[in-house]
Each structure stands twice: as structure tokens, then as C-alpha cells.
């Protein structure tokens, strides 16, 4: 099973909430790269990023009853947990450094995980769109073409282009939904 | 009546659409304005995505650690069909660990056939091989699997960079130098087509693939640029040429061009449902390695 359509993901969430271990595995397969990359980009350390991934999926499983699908998309919820675990890691690093009294320790503020996460979610979701809607959206995003120009370029009816744009944007929005409010289990 | 959803989507992208009446409604309707704001946010994030926004897969053993910590049933061993394969433009390949002396995608792939790059089109029904037990029992991998989620996205970004500047961008970007170039030769079904591919490096060390083609035949759909190894497997999608036959595509920093010396320009079908190569190659060339 590939978890690509919204329906697949909804079914997966249902199984996950019901305590199906296979659903957790599928969720891991679908989202572990996203979690790992966000952690890696923020922490800059693969070992620590791996630890974060482990903590996130363990927390997601043990705290699954706190996930409310109507309030946040699964990716947003996982990103919320990821941000917390990444912040914990930054914090313990800071403590570690204080303990070691490391000279010249450069305790910089953690990079903005929120925007990195959003961009990664969107980049990932764009890559998961079907071929034609994906092309349409990329032309709109990155070439700044109008829907009429896209219709001409791809030789599609303008109405089709418009509905691809609408459907894709709504799909992407669902992925970002309430990412900021996602709670830590 | 609320704004037409198509209209809101186009407005979010910044298109000057809608009648004065539409705009009056929007100005006075909180629901529609909130919807527009949410869509604008998506567009903003989408347009901020860069070539760097590429997903990296954690090492395969990590699932075992999680499964062990949670005492999951041993049958759930991470070898099921991959749900992570869904991204249609994903390519998976092995990037050498910087701490090892080896470099190059090809050498990593050659040392570990299981890690051979794949384009997700020629495999089984899932389009992606599940990790085999050998993967997991192998010694600590010397390379890290990188999932290149955004190659086509990156290419589209390059187009965004190039848009409005016309062809011969290399002449317009100060500090850019040509590192290799190759004439592209027409394949038999495309008599009269010709082209050139140039590799460039800019001041910041970013690499660019610049392609210009001329073809007597009008495009029957988008024309796409690919890089591949000499076995033409996998094909890395670099992006689409503009209607004038030119394109400038960023080369991902982790991509070892010595392993991808072949340039291929394909004619893709108009309503292409497949992200892979159409099989209809127009022009090919090989960079000297």
C-alpha cells in the first residue's frame, strides 16, 4: 500500500488510533524522512536527528490517543512533536555545555524549524501530486505563469488548469493545517 | 454567495482575476478572506521551497530501534511495501559518507547493489523495493540514503530564476564559468534537431546545467531534460525546457556528475501521467568525464 491519497491517509489514521501496529509502521515509512530531515536541518547532527526520530515515533505511538484528526493533519501533528523533541535536544545541549563550561560555546538559537518543516512538507506533498497537477502547480509557483499561460504551455483547457490549481492548493493546505497548534502527546 | 473556490486559488497565486463584484464580496466576507489568506500562506511556503528542501531518509536500522523500544510484534519488521514510495518524482540514491574516502554515487552503488539508485518506474507494483534483510544485517552503511524529493522542483526553480532573462543566461550571471560543454546529437526519429548542454559553476560554487535545443518539429508536449549514467538508469529529471528550447537547471550539490554524464532531452506526451522518461528521446550527449 502506498499512502498517497487523502483516503489512504485517513484510513491509516483510523487504524493508527485503533492501535494497529502496522499502521504505525506505515506512518513511519511515510513520514520518517520528513521528521529526520527537519531534525537534521535543525540539529546538524545525524545521530541526534536519529534519536529525535525515535523519540517522535515512540511518543506518537504512546500518545496516539491525544491526536485529534479533526484538529490537525497527521503530518502537522508529527511536526509538532518533532519541534518539541528538537527543542529538548537543543536545550540539553545547552545544559551539557554549561556543565562542561565549554569555552567559547556558541549557543545559537535553534533555526526556525517551523518554516523548514513547512517547506519540507510542501516540497514533499508537491512531489506526491499526480504528474499533471504537479506540473501545473510548479509552473504557477516557480515560473509565475498565469493559469492561461499554463493552459497554453501544457495544452490543457483553462478550466482544467484552474481546477488542478484549486485542488492542489487545498490539498497542500490540509497538510499544513494547524501545524503551529499541534500538541505534544 | 461565497467566492468561487477557483477564483480564490488564482487570487492566492497573485493573478489579477475576478470582477469588481467579486472583489466587493471578498472585501466584506470574513469566510472568503480567511480562505484566501490560508491559500496565500500555502503559496508563500511553496514559493519559498528551495533545492535544499530535500528529504533525507533515516538509516534503515532506526525502525528496529523504535520497534524494539515499543515492543511491537516482531512480524512488523519494516519489510512491508514501502509507503514512502508514493512521491512520484522521488529518486533514491546513496550519498557517500563524507568521512569515507570514496566519492561518487556510482561507486557507492557499485559497492552495494542493493543500494542501486532506482527511479521507481521499473520495479515491482509498489515502485520501490522494500529493504531486504540483507540491508539490515549489513555492516554499518558507509553511505546515507538521500531521498531527492525535489529534483524536478529544483529544475522548476531554475526556470523561475531564468524567467524573463531570456536565453544565454550564462552571459548574464557574473562570476559564472563554464566547466564542461557538449553538443547534443539528434536521435534518428528527430532529424534536424540539435542542441548544446553546458555545465557551469557560479561564484558560490553552485552548479548549473544549461541546455539549448532547436528542433524543426513543434513540441507535442513538454520537453524534459535528464541526466543519467551510461546505462541510462536511473534517469534524473532536471526539468522542462521553455518553449524557446532553453533551460537552466540547478544541479543538486550532492549529485556526482561523473556518475551522470549523459544528457538526454525527451519529448514528453502532452497529458503525461507518468513522471518517468517517456522513452521518446530527441537528443543526447555525454559530458567528458
Burial label for A15, CB within 10 Å (0-12, 13-18, 19+), is: middle
B234 prior amide bond cis, ω within 30: yes
d(CA B95, CA B112): 12
d(CA B197, CA B185): 11
Q: Which of A34, A118, A156 sits opposite B45 (nearest CB)?
A: A118
How many residue contacts between A and B have a Cβ separation below 8 Å? 203
Of the residues B59, B62, B224, the best mutation for testing chain A's interface (the one with the most A CB atoms within 10 Å of its CB) is B62
Contacts A169 to B, Cβ<8 Å: 9, 12, 39, 42-43
B57 Cβ under 8 Å from any chain A Cβ: yes
Tell me the shortest Cα–Cα distance from B222 to chain A, in angstroms: 7
A173 Cβ under 8 Å from any chain B Cβ: yes
* pLDDT, one tens digit for every residue, chain B (289 residues): 788 899 999 999 998 888 999 999 988 899 999 999 999 989 988 888 876 677 788 888 899 999 999 988 877 766 544 434 333 333 232 333 333 333 333 333 333 333 333 343 333 333 333 333 333 333 333 333 333 333 433 444 444 343 333 333 333 445 678 888 889 988 777 888 899 999 988 777 788 899 999 988 888 888 989 888 766 667 788 888 888 888 888 887 777 888 888 899 999 888 776 777 887 889 988 888 7
* pLDDT, one tens digit for every residue, chain A (185 residues): 455 566 788 889 999 999 999 999 999 998 998 899 889 888 888 889 999 999 999 999 999 999 998 888 898 899 999 989 998 998 888 777 666 555 444 444 455 666 778 888 888 888 888 889 999 998 999 888 899 999 999 999 999 999 999 999 999 998 887 544 444 44
Contacts B59 to A, Cβ<8 Å: 50
Nearest CA in chain A to B224: A135
Nearest CA in chain A to B274: A131
Residue B29 CB-half CA count within 13 A: 16
Of the residues B48, B83, B88, the best mutation for testing chain A's interface (the one with the most A CB atoms within 10 Å of its CB) is B83
Beta-carbon separation of A124 and B55 below 8 A = yes
Return the pLDDT at A1: 46
Contacts B275 to A, Cβ<8 Å: 131, 134
d(CA A21, CA B75): 10
B157 Cβ under 8 Å from any chain A Cβ: yes
User: Strand ranges (DSSP E) for chain B?
Assistant: 91-96, 143-148, 177-186, 194-201, 207-214, 223-228, 235-240, 246-251, 262-267, 281-286
Q: Which of A54, A132, A165 sits opposite B65 (nearest CB)?
A: A54
Beta-carbon separation of A25 and B42 below 8 A = no
Q: Which domains does chain A have, with CATH numbers?
A: 5-90 (1.10.1740.10), 108-183 (1.10.10.10)
Beta-carbon separation of B66 and A57 below 8 A = yes
Return the pLDDT at B142: 32
Nearest by Cα to A21 from B134, B60, B69:
B69
B160 Cβ under 8 Å from any chain A Cβ: yes
Tell me the shortest Cα–Cα distance from B288 to chain A, in angstroms: 31
Beta-carbon separation of A165 and B6 below 8 A = yes
Of the residues A7, A9, A11, A29, the best mutation for testing chain B's interface (the one with the most B CB atoms within 10 Å of its CB) is A29
Whole-prediction pTM value? 0.49
pLDDT tens for each residue of B92-142: 323 333 333 333 333 333 333 333 333 433 333 333 333 333 333 333 333
Q: What is the DSSP string of A51-110?
A: HHHHHHHHHHHHTGGG--TTTS-HHHHHHHHHHHHHHHHHHHHHHHHHHHT-TT---PPP
B269 Cβ under 8 Å from any chain A Cβ: no
A68 Cβ under 8 Å from any chain B Cβ: no
Beta-carbon separation of A131 and B76 below 8 A = no
- Ramachandran class of B12: left when φ > 0, alpha when ψ lies in -120 to 50, beta otherwise: alpha
d(CA A30, CA A27): 5
A38 Cβ under 8 Å from any chain B Cβ: no
Beta-carbon separation of B89 and A146 below 8 A = no
d(CA B177, CA B199): 9
Nearest by Cα to A170 from B38, B4, B89, B53:
B38
A46 Cβ under 8 Å from any chain B Cβ: yes
Nearest CA in chain A to B61: A50
Amino acid at each position: 500500500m502506498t499512502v498517497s491519497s487523502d483516503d489512504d491517509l485517513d484510513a491509516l489514521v483510523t487504524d493508527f488510533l485503533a492501535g494497529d501496529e502496522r499502521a504505525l509502521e506505515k506512518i513511519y515509512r511515510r513520514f520518517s524522512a520528513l521528521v529526520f530531515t527537519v531534525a537534521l536541518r535543525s540539529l546538524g547532527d545525524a545521530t541526534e536527528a536519529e534519536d529525535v526520530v525515535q523519540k517522535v515515533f515512540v511518543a506518537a505511538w504512546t500518545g496516539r490517543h491525544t491526536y485529534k484528526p479533526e484538529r490537525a493533519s497527521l503530518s502537522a501533528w508529527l511536526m509538532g512533536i518533532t519541534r518539541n523533541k528538537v527543542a529538548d535536544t537543543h536545550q540539553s545541549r545547552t545544559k551539557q555545555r554549561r556543565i562542561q563550561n565549554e569555552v567559547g560555546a556558541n549557543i545559537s538559537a535553534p533555526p526556525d524549524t517551523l518554516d523548514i518543516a513547512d517547506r519540507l512538507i510542501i516540497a514533499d506533498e508537491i512531489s506526491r501530486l499526480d504528474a499533471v497537477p504537479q506540473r501545473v502547480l510548479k509552473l504557477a509557483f516557480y515560473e509565475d505563469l498565469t493559469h492561461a499561460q499554463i493552459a497554453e504551455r501544457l495544452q490543457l483547457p483553462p478550466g482544467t488548469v484552474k481546477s488542478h490549481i484549486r485542488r492542489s492548493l487545498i490539498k497542500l493546505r490540509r497538510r499544513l493545517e494547524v501545524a503551529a497548534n499541534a500538541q505534544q502527546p | 454567495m461565497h467566492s468561487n473556490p477557483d477564483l480564490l486559488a488564482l487570487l492566492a497565486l497573485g493573478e489579477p482575476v475576478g470582477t469588481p463584484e467579486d472583489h466587493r464580496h471578498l472585501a466584506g466576507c470574513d469566510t472568503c478572506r480567511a480562505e484566501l489568506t490560508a491559500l496565500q500562506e500555502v503559496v508563500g511556503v511553496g514559493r519559498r521551497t528551495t533545492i535544499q528542501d530535500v528529504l533525507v531518509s533515516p538509516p534503515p536500522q532506526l525502525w528496529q530501534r523504535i520497534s524494539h523500544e515499543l515492543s511491537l510484534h516482531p512480524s512488523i519488521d519494516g519489510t512491508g511495501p514501502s509507503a514512502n514510495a508514493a512521491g512520484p518524482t522521488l529518486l533514491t540514491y546513496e550519498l557517500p559518507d563524507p568521512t569515507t574516502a570514496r566519492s561518487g554515487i556510482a561507486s557507492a552503488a557499485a559497492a552495494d547493489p542493493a543500494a542501486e539508485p532506482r527511479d521507481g518506474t521499473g520495479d515491482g507494483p509498489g515502485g520501490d523495493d522494500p529493504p531486504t534483510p540483507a540491508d539490515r544485517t549489513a555492516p554499518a552503511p558507509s553511505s546515507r540514503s538521500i531521498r531527492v524529493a525535489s529534483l524536478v522542483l529544483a529544475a522548476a526553480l531554475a526556470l523561475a530564476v531564468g524567467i524573463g532573462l531570456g536565453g544565454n543566461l550564462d552571459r548574464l550571471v557574473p562570476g559564472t564559468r563554464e566547466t564542461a560543454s557538449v553538443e547534443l546529437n539528434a536521435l534518428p526519429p528527430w532529424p534536424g534537431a540539435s542542441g548544446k548542454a553546458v555545465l557551469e559553476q557560479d561564484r558560490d560554487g553552485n552548479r548549473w546545467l544549461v541546455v539549448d535545443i532547436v528542433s524543426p518539429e513543434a513540441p507535442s508536449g513538454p520537453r524534459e531534460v535528464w541526466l543519467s549514467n551510461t546505462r541510462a538508469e536511473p534517469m534524473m529529471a532536471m526539468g522542462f525546457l521553455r518553449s524557446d528550447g532553453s533551460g537552466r537547471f540547478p544541479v543538486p550539490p550532492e549529485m556526482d556528475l561523473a556518475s551522470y554524464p549523459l544528457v538526454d532531452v525527451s519529448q514528453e506526451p502532452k497529458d503525461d501521467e507518468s513522471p518517468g522518461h517517456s522513452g521518446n528521446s530527441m537528443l543526447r550527449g555525454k559530458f567528458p568525464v
